[in-house]
Amino acid sequence: MIKFRVDGEPQVWPKKDISVVNDKPIVYQQDKNGRKAAWIEQVRIIATSAMVPELFIPKPQAVKVLTIVYRTPPKRNKLPYPSTRPDLDNFTYLPHNVLEGVCYDDDSQICHQNEWKLWATDAHPPGLEITIGPMRGLTEIEWVDCNLNECGRS
């Protein structure tokens, strides 16, 4: 099982936009300040340093992923959970794709995922925690589901 943490404010996958120049469509990704590209590289570097070759999960073996996203709460936070944009799936799309070729062959191997989007605290600063392991039979899953107490919530 591979487990690692990426510190910093989590970013979502850059969205694609289309512009028309000289009557030709041009597709480009939005990343005006470069934070998304830096986050992608940071996730890749930390995952690569956490990996050892014998933990790589080749096709056709299935993969399970636990992803916890800790976001910085706004100054006037009144919500117990970050039930605001961006959506959780937009946060988890980025690491799942970035980890292709690092932890597994293709993100299509992911057959089980457990995802959380929580407010950051002193105990859990902004960042991303990822645990990846091979999928076994449902009766043999060696998986710790994140409950609110384990995630630093009481």
The pLDDT tens digits for 46-91 are 999 999 888 898 888 888 888 889 999 888 878 888 988 888 888 8
Contact (Cβ atoms closer than 8 angstroms) between residue 106 and residue 100? yes
Q: What is the pTM of this model?
A: 0.77
DSSP state of 96: H
What top-level class would CATH report for the domain 2-140?
alpha beta
Cα(125)–Cα(12) distance, rounded to whole angstroms?
Answer: 18
- Domain limits, the chain: 2-140
Residue 17 predicted with pLDDT over 80? no
| CA–CA–CA angle 115, 98, 120 (5° rounding) | 40
Residue 34 predicted with pLDDT over 90? no
CA distances from 73 to 99, 102, 115, 122 (A): 27, 31, 18, 12
Q: What is the pLDDT of residue 143?
A: 45
Residue in the structure block whose two tokens are 């589901």: 145
Tokens for 117, please give them.
């989007």
Other C-beta atoms lying within 10 Å of the C-beta of residue 70: 25
Determine phi and psi for 6, rounding to 5 degrees. -115, 115
136/138: higher pLDDT: 136
Residue 38 predicted with pLDDT over 70? yes
What integer is the mean pLDDT of 113-128?
91
